[in-house]
Structure 1
């Protein structure tokens, strides 16, 4: 196992291959549904946004293999967001229409790429530390996404997911659900950071560049 730059060629090759697969899956949806397709709604799904970031991380990691602490934080954030995508889909959305009628695309975006990012994080771990600043930085995006979805939904009368739709459940029930999700997301974020540190230590990998722990966007 290695951390950062110096990743084995076969891991970089797999990153690139799965990154290309993700690009094809993400582009197939608008290309297949050109008539009546809403780009704004499409890009308002957490699944799509997290997979776009995941694809970028895979391609950059495969082609350039950066080794900075900032990049490792972004890798961790992307792993977390796709883990959230996979967990939420499995628990809450497996039987819900989320605009992915093609089974192979549904599998790639909700199952394959989340597993790939988690496997990549375990094979090439980063010892970032489990700190409030790191976890809080990673959780900024899901929090902003939730606010965006509620505000936009009230304006356009469309919500990407049932658990973000207050029209049938009311705001109190929605708030309770969001608090529970936030707690789950915090646990998942801690698990991602903790696994990175644990696997790095067991593999005797050196920690990423020195300095204090930062958020997902601070190196």
Structure 2
């Protein structure tokens, strides 16, 4: 029974690594092929998307779990995996509820978009729910998990003020102004916190069930 469970977990990990790396490479190829801006700016813009950075984090976690089943490493720690599950869930929610309706990707771009914003998030959250130990998650961890999105927000706002490029329409200061952008970011922050609290609460349910 335990061996079958490990095999199922490995299947998710292998699929996650393969689909994630393909999607990340595909998006990198597409942004270079667009030729809208010089290559160096294209590379910077590629790494300016929360979707890309978070999918890279997911790929690192999947790979670490696949190569090293033991706990102890940063990318295999339950707190890291839970935070990553929250991040990639926000990616999926924001895209599928808001951004999906702002454009119509075709061909490879459509495939890559579905992988980055739907398939990979589902795989990671599914793996987290089934296989990641949650009993030691703490409520105070949820605030530390906000450091990454906060640093990301500061980066894109600063770079946007210099370059004029904002990766997402709801953070476009040039179009909406700082007041509206900060309100939009507050709503996203609420989503982060709700998902984080929900994750720790789920961990508490597992703890009560196991009697630890």
TM-score by length of 1: 0.82
Task: Out of 171-180 and 114-123, give the one that drifted further.
Answer: 171-180
Over the aligned positions, Cα root-mean-square deviation in angstroms equals 2.6
| 1:19 equivalent in structure 2 | 17
**Highest relative contact order (Cα 8 Å, sep 6+), 1 or 2?**
1
2:60 and 2:73 map into 1 onto residues whose CA distance is 17
Cα offset, 1:98, TM superposition: 10
Contact residue 121 and residue 196 of structure 1 kept, 8 A: no
Contact residue 84 and residue 185 of structure 1 kept, 8 A: yes
From 37, 52, 58, give the equivalent of 2:56.
Answer: 52
Cα offset, 1:124, TM superposition: 1.2
Q: 1:64 to 1:171 in 2, by over 3 A?
A: same
From 127, 133, 137, give the equivalent of 2:135.
Answer: 127
Contact residue 54 and residue 88 of structure 2 kept, 8 A: yes
Cα offset, 1:62, TM superposition: 1.8
Contact residue 166 and residue 174 of structure 1 kept, 8 A: yes
Cα offset, 1:14, TM superposition: 2.0
Q: 1:86 to 1:48 in 2, by over 3 A?
A: same
1:167 and 1:179 map into 2 onto residues whose CA distance is 18
TM-score by length of 2: 0.84
From 97, 102, 108, give the equivalent of 2:115.
Answer: 108
1:188 and 1:200 map into 2 onto residues whose CA distance is 18
Task: Count the aligned residue pairs.
Answer: 201
1:98 and 1:155 map into 2 onto residues whose CA distance is 29
Give the 3-state SS of the residue equivalent to 1:182 in structure 2: helix
Give the 3-state SS of the residue equivalent to 1:68 in structure 2: coil
Cα offset, 1:93, TM superposition: 0.8
**Structure 1 or 2: larger helix share?**
2
Q: Which runs of 5+ in 1 are unaligned?
A: 207-219
From 59, 78, 81, give the equivalent of 1:75.
Answer: 81
| 1:153 equivalent in structure 2 | 160
Cα offset, 1:34, TM superposition: 3.3
Q: 1:10 to 1:75 in 2, by over 3 A?
A: same
From 32, 35, 38, give the equivalent of 1:34.
Answer: 32
From 183, 187, 194, give the equivalent of 2:190.
Answer: 183
Q: 1:16 to 1:104 in 2, by over 3 A?
A: same
1:73 and 1:174 map into 2 onto residues whose CA distance is 29
1:60 and 1:93 map into 2 onto residues whose CA distance is 31
